[in-house]
Chains A and B, each alone.
Chain A
């Protein structure tokens, strides 16, 4: 089958899209039991009768998860329902221990919100939110043998550690009118959600670990003809691309699906309403279940749980804890820190804003903090292929390091060595400076001897200096720095040279 480019598709059709984002909450325990909610433990070590769905076990709602869901709803401008219910979504699958998922159906806790999304060029798009509801995650199947899929596998293993982890699913209303900016808006929307959940502190927001996952719905409809409003043109059949787990992939998935659907429509073929799987390696989608064979989930109110009924007072109290919108916060910080647009964008892209802010908060200038995090530390993170935030160094340590420079205890070169020690786990910057003996040589008698030695070995240079060619002193400074293995304060060395040459003043 041929596909078209995204740009060609956008010339021919008007896209309509919607996004469902699943956010894994970072509560200490799971949604309906007391098991630890942690990523990466040994399989089936964080389980109990409740999340294993053993006969007789019953769920109890995690109030912290409810709090997180309500705060997220408030940050998305949603109304909070005075009474909302959990429902059972029934389907058989080995990773779903009870063979039903506890979710919310006709009465989500958060509904009817809207979110401003700021695009790279500063354009603000308002996305209408339909609902944000709570649910539990399923476990994880691993298929062994065959192609790695459930079909043809020799056997399958199930890990229920993730089963029962609290999720909030955020569903947009259909987003129209974005034209060729659709892919960009989709990406920016998910990025904004990720930024918000991090700012709220309710999720680590790591897309690469699946703690923020997106399903992208897209359909195309004909462009309105003259005299017709685009709003009057009915939506086309949509596809739902599941588990798109990076910002880049969201943009690509939209571009691919638009091209695929446009090619079908132009060839006079129908678009099938279906779910599709995203393939990161080929940047393409393939069909999953079609709507015709889709399951009937037989939703009904979960009889084991009471309705969620947050008091008005509590909701208002939570409203007071909502941080400012990430885009507005960025504008404010850029202003306060005096960063250029480019510096700010780089810092955001590197996920360094929080780190810089935390470093500034303990007394470092914004530029110095930026220099460290966007310079040396970004380089190290890149070399190690880890996120900046996962480097074993705290903003406080960076502030301490900069403080040592500012106090003249170490110079930039020594500071880099000290940082190396900190990253190697040798202790705080001050401890590393001490243990590695990195402090600048400030003992004048030692420096004087080194200067004298250098001048004695280069009498021509001494003559030049005494002739008033002060820049020639640089050669002597270099020799002294070499002799002291870089541990001298270059400024002080220069002073001593001039003094010894008898040209001070």
Chain B
């Protein structure tokens, strides 16, 4: 393979070239570090770069490869890690000022697996503070910008991980998805992101937002790349009691099968409530979605409409459960053992002052909401009712999956909005996640992949696929088929059409 700019290659291509001796890991890492230096100023996908650590891993991998040591498939392929994952010896902030300067003394399970896979870690990617947000504007360290249009949001909370892919700063990144934080950024940056089945990837070492909804997942520019990373991350972990005790689904095999573009016998359900049937979706989003459905039909899939009536209440239930759990999970940021401490005369005042200064507005808003929802006398009305809605959402999914192998919808109702446009309107911001939230409430896996650019603004539109719990492989099969069929039409991946970024000297 003759390549002039390795940052444009897919992770699978990089892995193959490394194995064939056509490139070294040091060259790959250096190319990406150079790219980061050139474009990350305005994009701001990264909060922390670990050039030396990444190069050190790369050198070791190159040496082992030269010595004939057998290596994992992605050994030497660089990666970016969302700052929600703790990384031993590397700063970890979860996008919050309250953790500024904290160096974790331990690795998250997924961080450990990335290291065991011998993947050089380029750095930590930007995110909304404690993963609360859909735009990365709520980062305590400044927003990330969408490489497709620097005035627009890259989605959130994992805007850094998505923008790093779209700006060719990394071939693979890790995200976390509590209500769409992997899929919605993928959608608005024309990249691929997967939220695995709840429990499919260990959460140990992922700074918790809402423990019953959070799930770590892979992000890439292609379905196959995402599958390769999924297999590195997934699998049982005895440090996470909610981790599934079952093998990682064969997602790479499914992606390869899907790329053969035969979906004969596959039944695809269009969820009426998630597809803008009642309006509210941008015209170009609907148009691209319909075209993708046509592609699926062309490949032999049967497309039917299904209805999940309780999804109407999903957003409200989500915004009770999430703040409730978050209010408890974020209590530990009390200045006593780590992170920011604003010293006052008593421990109580010190805790109050630290939290007042260290947390941003959105975090405070949700802590207040959650504290209220869990209070004596309100628990049944709020948290209790929300859990009932959650059960209803699960039942709706069960019924839909009785009829269909996968369910589909546009990932987001609109293409990316402008930075600052919704910052003062939390409800409008929350509506971004209307199509992604039900999967988190039900614990099922979901994928977003590009379905084109909206004709009216030329910005990316995402296509969401949902599968029953444990059936993550179906996402990859259908996703890879759609990707191949669209790429044939586009003459290559959509990511290649992203505008050239101005390069810093």
CB atoms of A56 and B371 under 8 A apart: no
CB atoms of A56 and B104 under 8 A apart: yes
In the complex, which residues 82-131 of chain A have their Cβ closer than 8 Å to any Cβ of chain B?
Answer: 88, 90, 92, 94, 97-100
Residues of A within 8 A of B324 (CB): 300
CB atoms of A303 and B325 under 8 A apart: yes
Residues of B within 8 A of A150 (CB): 347
A202 to chain B minimum Cβ distance, whole angstroms, is: 22
Q: Which of B135-143, B238-246, B285-293, B356-364 binds A?
A: B238-246
Q: Within 8 Å of chain A (Cβ to Cβ): is B375?
A: yes
Distance A292 CA – B375 CA, assembled complex (angstroms): 15
Q: Within 8 Å of chain A (Cβ to Cβ): is B212?
A: yes
Distance A178 CA – B240 CA, assembled complex (angstroms): 48
Q: Within 8 Å of chain A (Cβ to Cβ): is B208?
A: yes
A150-B347, A299-B374 given; 4 more Cβ-contact pairs under 8 Å: A54-B338, A55-B102, A303-B210, A303-B242
Distance A303 CA – B208 CA, assembled complex (angstroms): 11
Q: Within 8 Å of chain A (Cβ to Cβ): is B205?
A: yes
Distance A300 CA – B241 CA, assembled complex (angstroms): 18
CB atoms of B351 and A56 under 8 A apart: no
Q: Within 8 Å of chain A (Cβ to Cβ): is B282?
A: no
Q: Which of B163-171, B248-256, B327-335, B468-476 binds A?
A: B327-335
Distance A412 CA – B158 CA, assembled complex (angstroms): 82
With beta carbons under 8 angstroms apart, the residue of B85, B205, B371 that contacts A298 is B371
Nearest CB in chain A to that of B351: its residue = A92
Distance A341 CA – B338 CA, assembled complex (angstroms): 59
B504 to chain A minimum Cβ distance, whole angstroms, is: 33
Nearest CB in chain B to that of A298: its residue = B374
A-B CB contact pairs (8 Å), 24 listed = A49-B105, A54-B105, A55-B86, A55-B92, A55-B207, A55-B338, A56-B108, A56-B204, A56-B205, A57-B106, A57-B205, A58-B203, A58-B239, A60-B238, A90-B328, A90-B331, A92-B331, A94-B336, A98-B331, A98-B332, A298-B327, A298-B375, A299-B379, A300-B324
Nearest CB in chain B to that of A99: its residue = B331
Known: A49-B106, A97-B332. A58 touches B241 (CB 8 A): yes
For A, the interface residue count at a CB cutoff of 8 angstroms equals 30
Q: Within 8 Å of chain A (Cβ to Cβ): is B94?
A: yes
CB atoms of A58 and B240 under 8 A apart: yes
Residues of A within 8 A of B331 (CB): 90, 92, 98-100
CB atoms of A56 and B206 under 8 A apart: yes
With beta carbons under 8 angstroms apart, the residue of B241, B327, B371, B379 that contacts A305 is B241
Q: Within 8 Å of chain B (Cβ to Cβ): is A336?
A: no
Interface of B, secondary structure class, is: loop
Q: Within 8 Å of chain B (Cβ to Cβ): is A8?
A: no
Chain A residues proximal to chain B, CB less than 8 Å: 49, 52-61, 88, 90, 92, 94, 97-100, 150, 156, 158, 296, 298-300, 303-306
CB atoms of A300 and B332 under 8 A apart: no
Residues of B within 8 A of A99 (CB): 331-332, 334
Distance A303 CA – B338 CA, assembled complex (angstroms): 24
Nearest CB in chain B to that of A49: its residue = B106
Residues of A within 8 A of B238 (CB): 60
Known: A49-B106, A61-B241, A303-B212. A298 touches B328 (CB 8 A): yes
Q: Within 8 Å of chain A (Cβ to Cβ): is B310?
A: no
Known: A49-B106, A90-B331. A55 touches B351 (CB 8 A): no
Residues of A within 8 A of B334 (CB): 92, 94, 99
Q: Within 8 Å of chain A (Cβ to Cβ): is B307?
A: no
Contact indicator per residue, chain B 333-358, by CB within 8 Å of chain A (1) or not (0): 11011100000000110010000000
CB atoms of A94 and B347 under 8 A apart: yes
Residues of B within 8 A of A305 (CB): 241-242
Q: Which 8 pairs from chain A and chain B are nearest by CB? A: A99-B331, A298-B374, A303-B211, A303-B212, A56-B205, A56-B86, A55-B207, A53-B332
Distance A52 CA – B86 CA, assembled complex (angstroms): 15
B428 to chain A minimum Cβ distance, whole angstroms, is: 28
CB atoms of A296 and B239 under 8 A apart: no
CB atoms of B328 and A100 under 8 A apart: yes
Interface centre among A54, A88, A158, A305 (most CB of B within 10 A): A54
In the complex, which residues 201-225 of chain B have their Cβ closer than 8 Å to any Cβ of chain A?
Answer: 203-208, 210-212
Distance A298 CA – B348 CA, assembled complex (angstroms): 19
CB atoms of A296 and B203 under 8 A apart: no
Distance A100 CA – B332 CA, assembled complex (angstroms): 8
Residues of A within 8 A of B108 (CB): 56
B298 to chain A minimum Cβ distance, whole angstroms, is: 43
Residues of A within 8 A of B92 (CB): 55
Residues of A within 8 A of B242 (CB): 303-306
Q: Within 8 Å of chain A (Cβ to Cβ): is B99?
A: yes
Distance A305 CA – B243 CA, assembled complex (angstroms): 10
Q: Within 8 Å of chain A (Cβ to Cβ): is B277?
A: no
Nearest CB in chain A to that of B199: its residue = A306
Distance A321 CA – B184 CA, assembled complex (angstroms): 55
Distance A298 CA – B371 CA, assembled complex (angstroms): 8
Residues of B within 8 A of A94 (CB): 334, 336, 347
In the complex, which residues 92-111 of chain B have their Cβ closer than 8 Å to any Cβ of chain A?
Answer: 92, 94, 99, 102, 104-106, 108
CB atoms of B337 and A97 under 8 A apart: yes
Interface centre among A56, A88, A97, A306 (most CB of B within 10 A): A56
Distance A57 CA – B207 CA, assembled complex (angstroms): 8
CB atoms of B337 and A56 under 8 A apart: no
Known: A56-B85, A88-B328. A304 touches B105 (CB 8 A): no
Nearest CB in chain A to that of B331: its residue = A99
B116 to chain A minimum Cβ distance, whole angstroms, is: 18
Distance A52 CA – B325 CA, assembled complex (angstroms): 19
Distance A92 CA – B337 CA, assembled complex (angstroms): 13
Distance A99 CA – B241 CA, assembled complex (angstroms): 20
Nearest CB in chain B to that of A94: its residue = B336
A264 to chain B minimum Cβ distance, whole angstroms, is: 28
Distance A88 CA – B324 CA, assembled complex (angstroms): 11
Q: Within 8 Å of chain A (Cβ to Cβ): is B376?
A: yes
Residues of B within 8 A of A92 (CB): 331, 334, 348, 351
Nearest CB in chain A to that of B93: its residue = A55
Residues of B within 8 A of A296 (CB): 375-376
Distance A55 CA – B324 CA, assembled complex (angstroms): 18
Residues of B within 8 A of A299 (CB): 374, 379
B402 to chain A minimum Cβ distance, whole angstroms, is: 26
CB atoms of B328 and A60 under 8 A apart: no
With beta carbons under 8 angstroms apart, the residue of A56, A61, A97, A100 that contacts B207 is A56
Nearest CB in chain B to that of A295: its residue = B376
CB atoms of A60 and B332 under 8 A apart: no
Residues of A within 8 A of B347 (CB): 94, 150, 156
Distance A49 CA – B204 CA, assembled complex (angstroms): 10
Q: Within 8 Å of chain A (Cβ to Cβ): is B383?
A: yes
Distance A306 CA – B244 CA, assembled complex (angstroms): 11
Residues of B within 8 A of A57 (CB): 106, 204-205
Distance A334 CA – B375 CA, assembled complex (angstroms): 55
